[in-house]
Copies of this chain bind each other. A is one copy, B any other.
Amino acid sequence: MSKEGEEVSNKQILFRDYVTGSPKESDMVHNDSTIRLKVPEGLKAVAVKNLYLSCDPYMRALMTKHEGDPSHIVPFTPGSPIQGFGVAKVLDSGHPNFKAGDLVWGITGWEEFSLISAPETLFKITYTDVPLSYYTGLLGMPGLTAYVGFNEVCSPKKGEYVFVSAASGAVGQLVGQFAKLMGCYVVGSAGSSQKVDLLKNKFGFDDAFNYKEEPDLNAALKRYFPEGIDIYFENVGGSMLDAVLLNMRAHGRIAVCGLISQYNLEQPQGIQNLFCLLTKRIRMEGFLVAEYYHLYPQFLQSTLQYIKEGKIVYVEDTVEGLTNAPSALLGLFTGRNVGKQLVVVAHE
């Protein structure tokens, strides 16, 4: 290998341009590029081989430019590879914390190989007696999201009534399991009978329903929660949120983790039942997992223990090949995925 490193071909998925409404596959462009697999002298970067890429609903928000909103996350750069969470193997490092052969998870590019210029944001993977792909889900960003969203934002207590929407997704399936471990009563909603079956028979939810078969969500929630809901883990927004508000109990808590039903709408649905916040003294709070990364070590420790004891299980929906990543991402918004959606770029 020369000083600049071997030049290899590097398939990429580029972000075409900002999107309004529903994104299409053509908003993500296949590109054949090349890359040198050696970090240039003096750069504190790492060169990685991407193994697993994660498809997450928040990525939709980065496809739109939100003018004049300083608090919003920086959107994707048109013409550059899509950025997202992934699991990767370090091939070369200019950073003292990393060396060739290290496995990492964190933000990488939708391409075969990436040069990551700020590797401080990456987490080093030290436990490898679990599927490596878990670091895109159960042991990665979605897992920590479920953990902090439930434990830190929802302030759960044993015996409380918990409702989780998008409950079979990357985050929801874990929220339900964490809630059961806490001694709560948990019901989940999902969009197919297969998913409802998973919730009840694999993840141990007390009950579950297919929201697509419920013409009246308010009536459905009254059926599953005759005593009302103490905690709502909000992944979807829209009419589900309006129905939940009517069914919350006094001093209920709503953790706003995502609003996937709204991301592709040009105009979000209006929420009409916010008066319930007042009459029922509800706390509704949004959170971003990036502000809780300091809790990752304690999350990892306890979750690994639960996995070993068989007390937490995880379902992944795996797609093979970088070329299939765009359709996998878009599938999140129609509910095509069953469990955590990830893309295998390479098997180590």
**Chain A residues engaging chain B, CB cutoff 8 angstroms:** 61, 69-73, 228, 237, 241, 246, 249-250, 256-259, 262, 267-288, 291
Task: Report yes or no: A259 in contact with B278, Cβ–Cβ below 8 A.
Answer: yes
Q: Bound complex: CA of A267 vs CA of B270, how far in Å?
A: 12
> CB-CB < 8 A to A246: which residues of B?
69
Task: Report yes or no: A237 in contact with B274, Cβ–Cβ below 8 A.
Answer: yes
A-B CB proximity, top 9 nearest:
A270-B270, A277-B286, A278-B286, A283-B285, A71-B280, A268-B272, A284-B284, A71-B250, A271-B271
Interface of A is mostly: loop
> CB-CB < 8 A to A228: which residues of B?
70-71
A248: nearest residue on chain B (CB-CB)?
B71
* Chain B nearest CB, measured from A62 CB (Å): 11
A249: nearest residue on chain B (CB-CB)?
B71
Residue of B69, B250, B271, B283 near A279 (CB, 8 A) is B69
Task: Report yes or no: A268 in contact with B273, Cβ–Cβ below 8 A.
Answer: yes
- Listed by A's residue number, 17 A-B pairs whose Cβ atoms lie within 8 Å are A69-B279, A71-B249, A71-B250, A71-B279, A72-B279, A237-B274, A257-B278, A259-B274, A271-B271, A271-B272, A277-B284, A277-B285, A279-B288, A280-B286, A281-B287, A282-B286, A283-B285
> CB-CB < 8 A to A278: which residues of B?
256-259, 286-288
Residue of B72, B271, B279, B287 near A286 (CB, 8 A) is B279
* Chain B nearest CB, measured from A115 CB (Å): 29
Q: Bound complex: CA of A69 vs CA of B245, how far in Å?
A: 11
List 15 additional contacts besides A256-B274, A269-B270; criterion CB under 8 Å.
A71-B228, A237-B274, A256-B278, A257-B278, A258-B278, A269-B272, A270-B270, A271-B272, A277-B286, A278-B286, A278-B287, A279-B286, A280-B286, A281-B287, A281-B288
A241: nearest residue on chain B (CB-CB)?
B274
Q: Bound complex: CA of A257 vs CA of B275, how far in Å?
A: 10
Q: Bound complex: CA of A239 vs CA of B275, how far in Å?
A: 14
Q: Bound complex: CA of A258 vs CA of B278, how far in Å?
A: 7
Given contacts A71-B249, A71-B250, A269-B270, contact A275 B287 (CB under 8 A): no
Residue of B237, B268, B276, B282 near A285 (CB, 8 A) is B282
A66: nearest residue on chain B (CB-CB)?
B279
Q: Bound complex: CA of A42 vs CA of B284, how far in Å?
A: 47
A68: nearest residue on chain B (CB-CB)?
B222
* Chain B nearest CB, measured from A46 CB (Å): 29
> CB-CB < 8 A to A280: which residues of B?
71, 286
* Chain B nearest CB, measured from A290 CB (Å): 10
* Chain B nearest CB, measured from A196 CB (Å): 26
Q: Bound complex: CA of A272 vs CA of B282, how far in Å?
A: 19
Task: Report yes or no: A268 in contact with B277, Cβ–Cβ below 8 A.
Answer: no
Q: Bound complex: CA of A55 vs CA of B175, how far in Å?
A: 45
A268: nearest residue on chain B (CB-CB)?
B272
